[in-house]
Amino acid sequence: VMGTSKALAERIVESLGREQRTTKLMSVRFGNVLGSSGSVVPIFKRQIAAGGPITVTDERMTRFFMTIPEAVRLVLQTAVMGAGGEVFVLDMGTPVRIVDLAREMIRLSGLEPEKDIAIVFTGVRPGEKLDEKLFNDAEQVGRTVHPKITTVTRTPVPWDILQRDLERLRTALASGDIEAALQAARLIVEPAAVPSVPWSEA
């Protein structure tokens, strides 16, 4: 649901940004910002300070990370570059295994992983992905003048059609029909599949 809601928000900003030119509307897609609210880093710090254990979903799980200054700098760059209606994607380098991050944080605290601080694997939750993908199969990567910023190339949804589809979604939500609401949401974001990256979630 979180991925679908973010894909919906992208569609709205993309469509409205092309419909009107009074305000420049753009979306920026990126992953996890180190040290931000809800990030795994402060969570791991608290767990280490408490003597453990550190909880990790799965040993295979990887995520993209970037620092707060880097994220802010690149987002501001997109604001300058964009004309309206674009979906920008930030280059976050190589994905990091969460368990490797946990072990490194334990070592940086002067402790030894598994010996001083245990690591417990809690298991993948429903809908959770082991790996992040910044683009789905229905999207293409477009270049920009900035080497660390790319764009999503796809067929935009016209604003009048999107308004009709959003009204269908509102009606389903107002009636409490969750299944109809999910179906209405999928109609908006498909045929472009919902990206699996939990943007800024961790």
3-class secondary structure, 171: helix
Instruction: List pLDDT tens digits, range 139-167.
Output: 888 999 999 899 988 888 889 999 999 99
Helix pair angle (178-189, 159-174), 10° resolution: 170
Task: Please say whether the beta carbons of 151 and 86 come within 8 A.
Answer: yes
List of residues 6+ apart from 164 with CB closer than 8 A: none
Q: Which domains does the chain have, with CATH numbers?
A: 2-189 (3.40.50.720)
Task: Please say whether the beta carbons of 183 and 15 come within 8 A.
Answer: no
Q: Would you give the end-to-end CA distance of the chain in angstroms?
A: 16
- The reported pLDDT for the residue numbered 29 is 87
User: How many angstroms from the chain centroid is the CA of residue 3?
Assistant: 7
- Mean pLDDT in consecutive groups of 10 residues from the start of the chain, 202 residues: 83 90 89 80 94 94 90 91 90 91 96 95 87 83 91 87 92 93 87 44 37
- The reported pLDDT for the residue numbered 105 is 95
